[in-house]
Structure 1
């Protein structure tokens, strides 16, 4: 349904005005909470991934562009006016008052959080349709920008799935989604249980490679050329650590191999998002 608004304090905009990302995750009216999709491209990718909108918010001029996206969303009945899903339209100045910034990216949508798959399900079906061969594990990353950037690199460089540990920042936090350009919806992901518990990865035939500096580490290029990566049935889980301390000692001890990216210029390491992109490219299938 199309709802035209002329006030930023309209109570129907509660999802957009009064809730922090933490509160959105805990919305009692929804089963798993909400997240915000921001920009026409991100909203379109969320809809394409089958995520269910609670409502849309945009200007009239962007609505013309978003009609097919609205119609394609689950719950709208294929209708460009959103069917039972509210499509809030407002002037640019009202939108800026609601969001606190100029909505130059065109649109917002309050999306219901999807159910996360279990580990076995995630590893059994990759984006290509077969078992996941390349998996990234993000251990305790705290910066949402790094999480979003890692997902974007994973999507671009053929990573089949991403695992995030219990203390890792939320991939569906608004900034993570924005930095990922919506690719967080393209790469299957889930949260791990107790960590580091690598039994599930090992049971799936994964070689667990920890990206870190250590005396026992092997060169990334050397590891990429090894049978663990080149065998037709090779399956690798690459674990990347938190921004400050890197991987925990327990994770390093549990991994099958420790891998390093050779550095020059007296630089000891890369930012975790940059390191992820380099490693994903090197291990691509």
Structure 2
């Protein structure tokens, strides 16, 4: 059983994993380098544990001890109990869900290892908004995508905001980083995938016309909010595809567009 430790000093070195959680640049540097990430809220903490991530420690307000009792019982990691106002001083924000856990990262698989066992893959280029990363992973999990590949400059899926928005779906869908871009896409094609670039360009075929759900292996490429896929990425694709728009709308948010396209790729429309 985990040891319960009450802490009343915001500078206690045992709380180092939780300091400055709102400092995005600091956390981007620290967390991968130190091999940790932060899970926030009961459901996310439980899903991280179920996915095999080891807990380093947990930070709770007193009222959450009973709720997390079974997790505490099964864990050997220390559990720090802290006053909510003190927790805000440590983390930099009000912890609405009352529970945080520092989790140990696992080594990422190689892109080749993921591709070997996949048929439907999402490929993200330069998606740096953590909310969009989380939303895309949640849709990928819900709609049956097998894996996610990230360009070298994509944001960290295990950043606290990404994990929270995904409701822990980042633990369900395996992902890897391509070491080079767009050269790394060659390995995707060589693995037998058709590279489909999602773009609002009118020269692209609609998803219905393309019928990606009938293809044996599909890699759907998604670009960052606003800019979309780069010219280099578009040139590397086998085909351009688009979602038809109405009422003068030119495009969807990348998170919404991903959900629509994942449905078309992984599930398809019922045959009439």
After TM superposition, the score normalised by the length of structure 2 is 0.89
**Map 1:200-239 → 2, pairs under 5 A:** 200-224=187-211, 229-231=213-215, 234-239=216-221
Residue aligned with 2:195, SS: strand
Question: Is 2:110 the partner of 1:118?
Answer: yes
Deviation at 1:215, TM superposition (A): 4.5
Aligned ranges 1:185-204 → 2 under 5 Å? 185-197=171-183, 198-204=185-191
Q: Is the 8 A contact 1:138 1:240 kept in 2?
A: yes
Q: 1:91, CA displacement in angstroms?
A: 2.8
Match of 1:150 in 2: 136
The answer as to 2:249 corresponding to 1:267 is: yes
Q: Any unmatched runs of 5+ in structure 1? A: 72-78, 125-130
Question: 2:127 corresponds to which residue?
Answer: 141
- The structural deviation recorded for 1:160 is 0.9
Aligned partners of 1:195, 1:23: CA distance in 2, in Å? 22
Compared CA separation, residues 97 and 230, structure 1 to 2 (3 A): same
Q: Which runs of 4+ in 1 moved over 4 A?
A: none
1:154-195 per-residue CA deviation (whole Å, 9 max, x = no partner) reads 111111111111111111111111111111111101111111
Q: How many residues align?
A: 260
CA–CA distance in structure 2, aligned partners of residues 26 and 187 of structure 1 = 19
Q: Post-superposition shift, 1:118?
A: 0.4
Shift of 1:261: 0.5
Q: Distance in 2 between matches of 1:276 and 1:202?
A: 21
> Partner of 2:38: helix, strand, or coil?
strand
For the 8 Å contact 2:20–2:92, the answer to whether it is kept is no
Q: Distance in 1 between matches of 2:20 and 2:261?
A: 40
Pair 1:105–1:257, CA change in 2 (3 A): same
For the residue of structure 2 that corresponds to 1:64, the secondary structure is coil
The Cα of 1:97 is off from its aligned counterpart by 2.9
The counterpart of 1:24, out of the listed 26, 30, 42, is 30
Alignment deviations for residues 97-148 of structure 1 (CA, whole Å, 9 cap, x no partner) = 3223332313111112211000121122xxxxxx311111111012111111
2:58–2:102 CA contact under 8 A, matched in 1: yes
Distance 2:210 2:71 in 1: 43
What displacement does 1:2 show?
1.9
TM-score by length of 1: 0.85
Task: Check conservation: 1:3, 1:89, Cα contact below 8 A.
Answer: yes
| Corresponding residue SS for 1:283 | helix
CA contact (8 A) 1:138 1:163 kept: yes
Q: 1:284 aligns with which of 256, 266, 272?
A: 266
1:241 and 1:115 map into 2 onto residues whose CA distance is 25
For the residues of structure 2 that align with 1:116 and 1:44, how far apart are their CA atoms?
21
RMSD of the TM alignment (CA)?
A: 1.8
Q: State the secondary structure of the residue aligned to 1:179.
A: helix
Q: Spell out, residue by residue over 1:70-98, the C-alpha distance to the aligned partner (whole angstroms, 9 max, x if none).
A: 45xxxxxxx4xx32x21111233332332
- For 1:26 and 1:282, the matched residues in 2 are separated by 34
Paired residues of 1:38 and 1:108 also in contact (CA < 8 A):
yes
Distance 1:215 1:95, change over 3 A: closer
